[in-house]
Amino acid sequence: MNKNEIVWGFKYYVHGSNHKPTGTPSSYVRALEILSIICKRDLFLENDLEFLEKLYDDLVVHQRNPKGKYSFPSAPSYGSKGFLSAAVRKFMDYISTTLYSNLTSVADTRLSAVLTNKTLLITRILEVQKLANDLLVVVNEAEEHDVEIFESLRSRLLSVVNDVSLI
């Protein structure tokens, strides 16, 4: 996802099922923009939950200090009212939900592909097994002509048939 999609998704996530228009989604986005400036790191592109958790813990302790490391003179209320930590907490929830959703979707897709491939593999194995059995018939019939060559071929084919049937 690009940054605009993340911001839009986050706003939608924050709004949730609340049918009344509120300023919370925009305030949380602004809080993350402020923190991105302060931290010199675009938090909307951050998916390191450990980093965000440490930032959240630090914000809880320091954000209300008007001269502290998270002060932002042009918007002091974001720290003093606790919007910075609240926004980070909600963003972590959003990332966790989104990542879980995406991982589940990827896992479902991969599982489906594996099952499809397994079906194809079984079909191919059965085809090889049938071919090996057909060749064994030919080898058994032709064995009378050149015993040594056909015995070698026969043992290799039997090995394939037996290996395939174990799968």
- Which residue has tokens 């060559």? 149
pLDDT of residue 17 exceeding 80: no
The token duo for 165 is 């049937």
Averaged over 104-122, what is the pLDDT? 70
64 vs 154, more confident: 64
Q: What is the pLDDT of residue 125?
A: 77
pTM: 0.60
127 pLDDT band, cuts 50/70/90, is confident
- Give the chain's length: 167
> Six-digit token pair at 166?
């174990």
Q: Is the pLDDT of residue 103 over 70?
A: no
Stated as kind and residue range, the H or E segment containing 74 is none
Q: Which residues, including other chains, have CB under 8 Å from residue 29's CB and lie 6 or more apart?
A: 7, 10, 11, 87
Confidence band, pLDDT 50/70/90 cuts, at residue 120: confident
Residue 99 pLDDT level (bands cut at 50, 70, 90): low
